Every structure is written in structure tokens, then in C-alpha cells.
Amino acid sequence: MAAASGRGRFITLEGMDGAGKSTHLATIAASLRAQGRRVLVTREPGGTPLAEKLRQLVLAEPMDAVSETLLIFAARADHVARVILPALERGAWVLCDRFTDSTLAYQGGGKGVPTELIRALARQAHPGLSPDRTLLFDCPYEVSRDRLQRAGRPPDRFEGQSRAFFDGVRDAYRGLAAAEPDRIRLIDGSRPPEAVPPLLEAALAGL
């Protein structure tokens, strides 16, 4: 969506767990604030009291992939209406850790939920709203798995998934990036963390 000048910008961060997304989110927020932008950092599923409750359910409870998709979109609709749109209208730049591309990648590419269902839900949950720019942190499965193991983090329901699931997620993400190269910029998440900030700056240019 082309953002009008008084309106903020909607920037999303995407990628597999362990590809560096969360590490670099803080760097991006700090650099935008240093440029004088008002920045709101938020995440999905989550970002409102209701959506955070739904997040707990989605990450912890076993459920089928369609139920999961519906709960994620219930959380998203609340988050968009209560937090994201009001912030953009106030002129803030919204930095969101995951959005609908995650659902297309994880529930669609990873679990086989039909893309048409996900796109139809997206049209209802956030009509006319799509990120102005998306940074996709991409890295091979082995790199992401080793980082998560070194971090010693207990796996949540998503991180405990099989290699085939991760391959499906990664392929879907790369397909989305190929289809929308202007919006979605691929960041090589296998580089050492200190080599990444210049790539972020380039990926956010022109907003």
C-alpha cells in the first residue's frame, strides 16, 4: 500500500526462528528513532490483551492447522484495529515482528492450509492494509537450528516441528519474496550479526 506522507509506515519482519529477526528488530527501531521517527514496536500473534491470550493458546495447545489459522487471524484483526491502524494514522512507524506472510509461510507452506483461505481471511482482517516494506531474514535450516540450540531455548510447539515443515516454510517465504520483490527484501540471516545492519539500512531505503 502506498503510504500518504502524514501517515506512518508499516514495516514487518519475517523469517524462520533463529534467522536473526528478533536481534535486528531492536537495531532497526533504534535507527529509525535516531532519524526522528516515532516508532511503535509490536508483534504477532499478540500486541493487544486479547491477541496475547490467543498467542498463549496457539503456541501451547495442540490443534489442527485450520483452527490455528482462525485464531491467528482473530488475534490479527484485533491487533490491526486497536493498535496498528491508529498508530499509522497518528504518523508513527509501526515495526511488527511477523504478520500475514508468517501465516502464508507457516500455516500455508508448512502445514498445507490453502493459500486462498489465508488470503480471504487477510482481506477481512486487514482490508486494504499490507506492509509498506517487509524484511525477510532467510537462512539455511542448519544455521537456524544451531542458533536455537546454542541459545538453549526450550522449543515451543512451532520450533519442535520436523525438517520437512521448515523446508515448506522457507520455500513459501522465498516464493512470496520472488512474487513481490519491491515489498519483500531478503536479508541473508546466515551472516554474522555485526555484518547485517548495513543490509537493513539498504532494505529500508526509499520509504
Using the rule CB under 6 A, is 10 a contact of ligand TYD? no
Q: Give the three cell numbers for residue 93.
A: 512507524
Percentages of the chain per state (helix, strand, coil), in multiples of 5: 55, 15, 35
134 closest CA partner among 75, 194, 72, 179: 179
Using the rule CB under 6 A, is 44 a contact of ligand TYD? yes
Using the rule CB under 6 A, is 45 a contact of ligand TYD? yes
Part of the chain binding ligand TYD (CB under 6 A), chosen from 30-38, 122-130, 133-141, 155-163: 155-163
N-to-C CA span, the chain: 11
**Closest CB 175 distance from ligand TYD, rounded Å:** 16
H helix or E strand, kind and range, residue 158: none
Task: From residue 152, give the alpha-carbon distance in Å to each of 4, 11, 77, 141, 155.
Answer: 44, 29, 33, 17, 9
Q: Considering the complex, state which of residue 52 and residue 159 has its C-beta at the smaller distance from ligand TYD.
A: 159
Using the rule CB under 6 A, is 48 a contact of ligand TYD? no
**Closest CB 75 distance from ligand TYD, rounded Å:** 8
Using the rule CB under 6 A, is 61 a contact of ligand TYD? no
Residues 104-123: x where in contact with ligand TYD by CB under 6 A, - otherwise, as a string: --xx----------------
3 state SS of 6: coil
For ligand TYD, the binding residues (CB under 6 A) are 17, 22, 43-45, 72, 97-98, 102-103, 106-107, 156, 158-159
